[in-house]
Structure 1
Amino acid sequence: MDAESDYVTTESKEAGGGDEGGESVVVENKPKEKKRKGGGLSRYILIRFLLIFPTIFILVTLVFFLMRATGDPITAALGGRLTPSQLQERIAEAGYDRPLIVQYGDYLWGVLHGDFGTTFTDHRPVLDILKLYGAGTLELVLFSLIVAFAIGIPLGMLAARYRDRWPDAVLRIFAILAYATPVFFLGLILKLIFSVNLGILPTSGRVSSQGELTMSKITNPSGLYFLDALRLGDTALLSDVLQHAVLPAIALGLLTGGVFLRLVRTNLIGTLEQPYIESARSRGVGENRLARKHALRPALIPVITVMGMQIAMSLGGAVLTETTFEWGGLGYQLSQYMQARDYVAVQGIVMMMAVIVAAVNFIVDIIAALIDPRVRY
């Protein structure tokens, strides 16, 4: 008998008190549901985690060969400062006269052992630079995400609430301006208004000179000034850190906040038109409660999904933001090393940013899978 047939027919016989006349009895069985293959949160997380490694490998490979497309790093960094014989001697010492594939293999081996090379301009291990300035960029991105959520979610809800009315039109124009305005231009405008004209916020840096002295007393600092100030319990230092972070966070956060605003508005409008929302509305549930309690969470799923891409954009914008505000992070250091043509340092910093983006996207995928089970399949 076919195991997947929808009906099973059983012949009843007259023997043993069966139905009279030997009539056939048709017993209807529901078709068995096939188990969904590939499901399960743990399997989904494992697959996403394993995908990080080929992603990083591809990024490392691209960065390496693109950097070498302009020639060897020593010629790029020191060309014109040394005589041709000195330059060739330095190239031979560093091993850049060997075949490119051999250099690539040595670079991969070094990366696997935590060796990203040494800068040519200041002779510092690239790994030390990543440790010292990576926390600064991470802190700036976190502050900017707080600004983005504080702007995008409530204003997106407000725009959806007043759909096709003047508040909606104003907020949509604001969102377009927010993500269309260049970060460096917005940063300069904010500095002119709040630092030069009003004099209420600092113009540059992560903390004041006095704050730097206080930070130097911390044992095993995390590099995140906000967290270190909390560890010390110094309210004056904490206020100093936050004052320096306000303008860079706003300049970078508005870029992402404008995207979040449009996404929340569009998805909230679509969610509010769903049948279960209409059913709740017919029972007398208020519009504000419908938006906050019933429609907001489904509307936030696309926002969380694109968060990884927005963080990647924030890291790109961090280069301009940190340069504008002289923020001590990887973006600022990257701009300095690019001007000096120190491609070994540039290669290490770009690769670290790529690793951060891959890791953040992995975390975002997990959050999206926890909120929306459909993502796992």
Structure 2
Amino acid sequence: MSNSTAVTSAGPSAGTPASARNAKGDGAASAAKPRRNRLSGGFFRFILTRFLLIIPTVFILVTIVFFVMRATGDPISAAMGGRLTPDELQRRIHAAGYDRPLIVQYLDYLGGLLRGDLGTTLTDNQPVISILVRYGAATFELAFLALIVALVIGIGLGRIAARHRDRAADAGIRVFAILCYATPVFFLGLMLKLIFAVWINVLPPSGRSDLASEMQFNRLVSPTGFYIIDALQLGNMTVLADVLRHAVLPALALGLLTAGVFIRLVRTNVISTYNSGYVEAARSRGVSEKRLLDKHAWRPALIPIITVMGMQIALMLAGAVLTETTFEWKGLGFMLSTYLKARDFVAVQGIVILIAIIVAVVNFIVDVVAALIDPRVRY
């Protein structure tokens, strides 16, 4: 009786384990599949939403720049008011359409943007598009090199500071990070020029290359404007070395500005992950501190850096104006400074719009990458 009772009582649980497991497995599979599809669809909606946000962002900035630039009057009067007779000035204003109502000019400008027409510069009568193409490559090259400097210095020193927390090395690195972030980029550029170009005399003080290298670039059938790539096209290592020597000081000046931010970010996040539960569990199992840093605490600390990188690109492009002016690096920043001095509002508008588009696109890419690598991002 007892055996029969035991079998009977055990039967519902022990007699159907396979079917229960199969049913449970089928249910879990059917539940998991829609979840995977739903996440996939949500991710693409997330990408589409972030991409569409670029349009209003650029539109708002274009609108602000347009009306702020004309707050002091029409561009021709601002650029050439003291060099033309009143009659000639009025004739040019009328020919350019700047005597029309402001809203009409604004709508006409938006129409030109949709057609890819950013206007013509007032001071040298060049299409703004050609200015962007000609000098944009120089700014992109400088920003790319500066980003490499920022990542190498920022991540390297940040890891060292986190590993030697509250010691002399950590304190010194933190002071260095504050100095990098707080020092104006033009002052840092001048100090680097004074030390390495004047006192030690090992690096050139300005420009993107020597005259001999410029003449070599003129031989190229289809130059890219990126001097490093063009030097590789030539296959001339002397020209490549000259280009890299000219790029060291500008890239260092601009890169250190962002490296200070990266140092603090890496240090803070690595220390935070050091104190997390799974790292403590690994430490209790006898895992070495070096392995804890390399395998457990390091990768999670990268996520905030990727998230903040979009904002740092904007900071770099802003700093490029002063950096390029300090080192006579003829890129968009250098030309923006030149056109601002000449009060050429048409050229300034075009350069600002391009920078806005670059920053918006970079932030979009950063958002997508962060969503891919960080499971905490919800879409």
- TM-score computed with the length of structure 2 as normaliser: 0.89
Shift of residue 107 of structure 1?
Answer: 0.5
Higher helix share: 2
Mapped pair 1:231 → 2:220? no
Deviating more after overlay: 338-347 vs 253-262: 338-347
Q: Aligned residue for 1:95?
A: 97
Q: Aligned residue for 1:163?
A: 165
After TM superposition, what 4+ stretches of structure 1 lie above 4 angstroms from structure 2?
29-39
Q: Which structure 2 residues correspond to residues 1-377 of structure 1 after superposition, within 5 A?
A: 40-377=42-379
In 1, distance between residues paired with 2:39 and 2:146?
40
Distance 1:151 1:48, change over 3 A: same
Q: Which amino acid aligns with 1:196?
A: V
Deviating more after overlay: 92-101 vs 224-233: 224-233
Q: Which amino acid aligns with 1:201?
A: L
Residues 149 and 257, structure 1, Cα contact 8 Å, conserved in 2 = yes
Alignment size in residue pairs: 349
In 2, distance between residues paired with 1:54 and 1:118?
25
Q: Equivalent residue of 2:208, what SS?
A: coil
In 2, distance between residues paired with 1:228 and 1:129?
19
Residues 229 and 238, structure 1, Cα contact 8 Å, conserved in 2 = yes
In 2, distance between residues paired with 1:165 and 1:40?
46
**Alpha-carbon displacement from aligned partner over 1:251-309 (angstroms, at most 9, x marks no partner):** 00000000000000001000111111111111111111111122111101111101111
In 2, distance between residues paired with 1:41 and 1:217?
48
In 2, distance between residues paired with 1:81 and 1:238?
44
Gaps of 5+ in 2: 1-23
Shift of residue 128 of structure 1?
Answer: 0.3
**Alpha-carbon displacement from aligned partner over 1:309-331 (angstroms, at most 9, x marks no partner):** 11101111000000000001000
Residues 39 and 376, structure 1, Cα contact 8 Å, conserved in 2 = no
Shift of residue 122 of structure 1?
Answer: 0.7
- TM-score computed with the length of structure 1 as normaliser: 0.89
Shift of residue 231 of structure 1?
Answer: 2.5
Q: Aligned residue for 1:20?
A: none
Shift of residue 40 of structure 1?
Answer: 3.3
Q: Which amino acid aligns with 1:299?
A: A
RMSD of the TM alignment (CA)?
1.8
In 1, distance between residues paired with 2:93 and 2:366?
43
Q: Equivalent residue of 1:339, what SS?
A: helix
Q: Equivalent residue of 1:373, what SS?
A: coil
